[in-house]
Amino acid sequence: MLRSFIEVAPDSHFPIQNLPYGVFRPRTGGGQPKIGVAIGNYVLDLAVLEEAGYLKSTEAAPIRIWSEPSLNAFMALGRTVWKAAREEIQSLLANDNPKLRDNAELRARALVPRTDVDMLLPVEIGDYTDFYASRDHAANVGTMFRGKDNALMPNWLHLPVGYHGRASSIVVSGTDIRRPLGQRKPPEAAAPMFGPSRELDFELEVGCLIGKGNELGCPVPITHAEEHIFGLVLVNDWSARDIQSWEYQPLGPFLAKNFATSISPWVVPLAALEPFRISGEIQEPQPLPYLRHNGPHSFDIQLEVYLKSESMQQPERISAGNFRHLYWSMAQQIAHHTSSGCNLRVGDMLGSGTISGPRKESRGCMLELTWRGTEPLRLGSREQRVWLEDGDQLTLSGWCQGDGYRVGFGEATGRILPSSL
């Protein structure tokens, strides 16, 4: 097994097999944002290695790629450069390579404790599309609102349903979330009212970041769809259920979804997930030809959600699921998204939609966990929740379990603040 000269605990999310990319800034002293990779408890400063002439894979770029404030310029270089850079970085960190291992001065400058940095939004996200790709989630929500016999809409098993989200309100993990304001109309009310959402929810998702775009009018064949994916992040697409239930007809989510979307700061390259590739869920009826897969197209990514209220000493796990439960794959989402001729661009993000599994504990939002408020969620012995309350902190986590190592995403965390009204 490949090992690093840097000590990495078996349960760390960031072994040498992972090397996720992120944008960071020193916590003290300021300075410009730079790009690094996570390795154990450290960030490897790629700008320092670039300056020292250790990263040959990006030398031909017209700018200093690793000193950029986002990953976009690196992503735009394409898969050949992504592969070469990853191999170069892994080689420098390997326990049998003395180049960085035995250079104490360079190590001191290039390896920064993760506790000493602030993580920033890793990508400039131009467009954001959110899908509805989990059958268990769609069936649960449909059952609540339309009954079991009409849980799935007629189109659901034939195409990946989605909507265009709001990229400007995507924030990095650790950003506080202000409770949104909007119109809502309770069933017993004669007219709508304006005020803070009372049914605030989280959504456990995974997002893929586009590293290679397509020209307007040129669909991406499903056989080449994954070539356009740079990497994956955790996504919490916060949702105001009461605002959404009033506003979504007939055009879909708007204010209920555009106030905040949290993502994890580390982008796990698709290459790091290859050892965990698995077959997805069986699709019946068979999709139309442009959506048909060849070979395994999903990944075994364990997902968890933790909630910590203001009165709790430790967070409590409230959900445990898996990425494998998605019905529509990332490749199918890309193939369908571009089938109209829509052009994806470097830095665009596609969200999976809420990921839920077949068991109650694997449901990926409060709407399902509490079954629309009829089954309150118990926290310890003294608290319970139907919806999220002010002061609650939600933490999403995810990882793939290897033989003696993990390839993880870190966390996507957000704390609810009171509304501005």
Q: What is the CATH number of the domain that holds 264?
A: 3.90.850.10
Instruction: Indicate if 91 and 170 belong to the same structural domain.
Output: no
Q: Is 137 a catalytic residue?
A: yes
The SS3 of residue 333 is helix
The answer to whether residues 260 and 238 touch, using CB atoms and an 8 Å cutoff, is yes
Structural domain boundaries enclosing 42: 21-120
Q: Which of 94, 120, 146 is the last residue of a domain?
A: 120
Q: What percent of the chain is predicted at pLDDT more than 70?
A: 100
Q: What average pLDDT does range 45-72 have in this prediction?
A: 95
Residue 359 resides in a domain: yes
**Mean pLDDT of all residues in the chain?**
97
Q: Which of 120, 153, 186 is the last residue of a domain?
A: 120
Instruction: Indicate if 116 and 94 belong to the same structural domain.
Output: yes
Nearest one of 332, 198, 377, 180 to 261, comparing CA atoms:
180
Enumerate the β-bridge partners of residue 26. 117
Reported as a single tens digit per residue, the pLDDT across 262-318 is 999 999 999 999 999 999 999 999 999 999 999 999 999 999 999 999 999 999 999
Reported as a single tens digit per residue, the pLDDT across 18-32 is 999 999 999 988 789
pLDDT for residue 36 is more than 90? yes
Query: CA 11 to CA 40: how far, in whole Å?
Result: 10
Residue 15 resides in a domain: no
Q: What average pLDDT does range 106-132 have in this prediction?
A: 98
The SS3 of residue 117 is strand
Reported as a single tens digit per residue, the pLDDT across 221-256 is 999 999 999 999 999 999 999 999 999 988 899 999
Measured between alpha carbons, how far is residue 209 from residues 257, 344, 358 in Å?
A: 19, 10, 27
Confidence of residue 369 (pLDDT cuts 50, 70, 90): very high
Reported as a single tens digit per residue, the pLDDT across 377-402 is 999 878 999 999 999 999 999 999 99
Decide: pTM greater than 0.95: yes
Give the chain's domain count: 2
| Catalytic residue from among 137, 228, 293, 337 | 137
